[in-house]
Chain A
């Protein structure tokens, strides 16, 4: 998740509060929480719509496909995937991710190669092929969608300067 989303959310909430404050004297109290984006309803299925009414589904969130590496939020975080991976075959027979992220192809495809740790077995043996414990990439690396976050988040990521310094690849 991008670092700025919690900030943005906080700003939104603040704006909402002050407006609410000013209106209070003139109007009847409105509901305490106003969710501007129906996608942010925690009950994403019903979104507060009474049970006897039909809730029309929201548009599906789209996978972000910008090919721009996102900063990591903490040490050792597996970086998120900055592109769509629809229909990439990741089976016992083949690993589409490694078409580009394998060391030998990375430069050609302008993809960051997986770190050397991905070639080490749990017994510390260094392999030529990716280690089986790292084979299923999407166990740790995930795509991001444009879905708005459901709840505010106060998590503070790495300081920008820590981020800028070369980080040890796990």
Chain B
């Protein structure tokens, strides 16, 4: 069902690109080297800007919740949590937690995400039941990623050095000072399920 429109879009894009491709392949006859260099430079800037803009577009909440798997499953859950509505009025959107800010890491994650789009096209997850079935695997991927990068995405917004422990609840201040401050643990060790409902956690170490 979802494969149809996607295939149509791809076909459309290919058809439009065809004339460019033909021109692209034929050697320059009438153009000066200077023009080519300068033109190439300008085109490069435009392409680069456009590329990054397109990348940004895939980082919006609207894009992430554009497919029903996300809109019907994880998004309503996020809406119940502190990262959607809080006293500070700062909202964490999907990409804040799921896409690295740093360019190289970001590209890596986007390549990986393309595989997830593949999953979308071929319908690995269609219904709520299928989503719940896969949730543990999906969650484990995210835990492993955040564990490996020392919860980098959390730290884009929350830094230990900026935490005023005296303003935290006592239990939070104590544990942060002794386990976060000393580097024994990272955010995701203790804060699993901060944005979504958890899958069955039997046998999964926490804390």
Residues of chain A at the chain B interface (Cβ within 8 Å): 65-68, 83-84, 86-87, 89, 91-94, 96, 99-100, 105, 108-111
Contacts and interface: CB of A to CB of B under 8 A. Distances in A.
Contacts of B207: 99-100, 105, 108-109
A99 B189 CA distance: 11
Interface string B194-207: 00011111000011
20 contacts: A66-B170, A67-B169, A67-B170, A67-B171, A68-B170, A84-B169, A87-B80, A87-B81, A87-B82, A89-B193, A91-B197, A92-B200, A93-B200, A93-B201, A94-B198, A99-B207, A100-B171, A100-B207, A108-B207, A110-B171
A91 B198 contact: yes
Contacts of B80: 87
A83 B199 contact: no
Given A87-B81, A109-B171, A109-B175, A93 B206 contact: no
Contacts of A110: 171, 174-175
Interface of B: 80-82, 169-171, 174-175, 179, 190, 193, 197-201, 206-207
A83 B136 CA distance: 30
Given A87-B82, A92-B200, 17 more contacts: A67-B170, A68-B170, A83-B171, A84-B169, A87-B81, A89-B198, A93-B201, A94-B193, A94-B198, A94-B200, A94-B201, A99-B190, A105-B206, A105-B207, A108-B179, A109-B171, A110-B174
Nearest to A110: B174
B170 A93 contact: no
B178 to A, nearest CB: 8
Contacts of B190: 99
Contacts of B201: 93-94
Contacts of B197: 89, 91, 93
B134 to A, nearest CB: 14
A99 B171 contact: no
A34 to B, nearest CB: 35
A91 B193 CA distance: 12
Nearest to B170: A67
Contacts of B193: 89, 94, 96
